[in-house]
Amino acid sequence: MTSPTRLSVLDQSPIAAGSTAAQAVANTLDLARVADRLGYHRYWLAEHHASPALAGAAPEALIGPVALATTRIRVGSGGIMLPHYSPFKVAETFRLLAAIAPGRIDLGLGRAPGSDQRTALALRQDRARGFGAEDFTQSLAELLAYLDEAPDGGLPADHAFAVLRDTLPSGGGVLPVWLLGSSHDSAMLAARLGLPYCVADFINSDGDELAELYRRNFRPSAHLDAPNVIAAVWTIAAPTTEEAARLAMPAAMMFAHLMRGVLIPVPSIEQAETWLAANPQSLAMRRRRVVTGAPAEVRAQLDEVATLYGADELMLVNILPDHAARIRSYELVAAEYGLAMLERAA
């Protein structure tokens, strides 16, 4: 087994039952400061819509405050669901964010709606054309052209929008573009375009096949010389194995409801424990990887995942109703890996 070179955080801004989105956002800012201090490499904000459990409806609105609340950690989107937006608007927004925190902003892009189909339709200006995922490759190409800083880059000279590249906010340094995904299509597209690739293992725990597909078909580009893989993994650490298992129960209850088409806020541990005891078949439904345990157990599991994916980096994600327990989970993992010391050495 090999340890990942870097550890990072993916934050979905969970809303505990009885709490508010305002408190979830305050928790996000608090966790970002902690991750910055602990030595995590990146802090990415997810995009989810019309959810009573997740406050991160607009990562582009959270990235600026998180970047200003931190000092060294990279901050980005995990990710922007491009079919909802104009490529030029995304380019403008992220060039402006890069100007706010030069050299620290990442643009992660995805094709999924981050919502149900009705909400996806509501998000689109041109509703006659449906969700728009079929335009993803073309939209991505346009966005990359806007962000291309090479003298001969950009859209063709005769393109109606070609001159807009020179109007984008400047001074923010290099803006890395990542492709996010959990399917063969995303792996092949990232490989063909020579982009770094983040595999959502917490959605598709067979994603090691995608990482291999990406590496096998990777074409070096102006963006990247060699394949670069992040695996985003569901991870909960606690002082004991038993406590970590209990902390995982609220997300298990949420997932079981989601499979039935029911969205709920993040339940308390006690509520989830009672519900799961009354619905034991729901635990059998969850086949996604869940890394839980005491710190040494979590490290052993994460090292296995890193080896499985050949990952250059792991991005840890979880949903807990107790903010203090969530903070402690990231603290325990950071201490187990000695992240602060590694970051200083780097």
Domain boundaries, the chain: 6-345
Q: In this structure, how many other beta carbons lie within 10 angstroms of the beta carbon of residue 87? A: 21
What local confidence, expressed as pLDDT, does residue 141 receive?
94
Average pLDDT over residues 267-285: 86
Phi, psi of 9 (to 5 degrees): -125, 135
Average pLDDT over residues 162-179: 93
Rounded Cα distance between 178 and 317, Å, is 17
Q: What is the percent of the chain with per-residue pLDDT over 90, rounded to a whole number? A: 77
Q: Which residue has the tokens 């902690």?
A: 34
Whether the Cβ atoms of residue 24 and residue 14 lie closer than 8 Å to each other: yes
Structure tokens at 272: 């989830």
Whether the Cβ atoms of residue 235 and residue 329 lie closer than 8 Å to each other: yes
Query: Which tops the pLDDT comparison, 154 or 40?
Result: 40
- Does the structure show a pLDDT above 90 at 151? no
Superfamily for 6-345? Luciferase-like domain (3.20.20.30)
- Average pLDDT of the chain is 91
What local confidence, expressed as pLDDT, does residue 133 receive?
56
Residue 59's pLDDT band (boundaries 50, 70, 90)? very high
Model pTM greater than 0.85? Answer: yes
Rounded Cα distance between 251 and 272, Å, is 8
Average pLDDT over residues 73-81: 96
- Does the structure show a pLDDT above 80 at 306? yes
H-assigned helices in the chain: 21-38, 59-69, 87-100, 117-123, 136-147, 184-193, 208-217, 241-247, 249-259, 269-278, 281-285, 295-309, 323-337, 339-345
Residue 341's pLDDT band (boundaries 50, 70, 90)? confident
- Does the structure show a pLDDT above 60 at 50? yes
- Does the structure show a pLDDT above 80 at 2? no
Report angle CA 77, 14, 284 to the nearest 5 degrees.
105
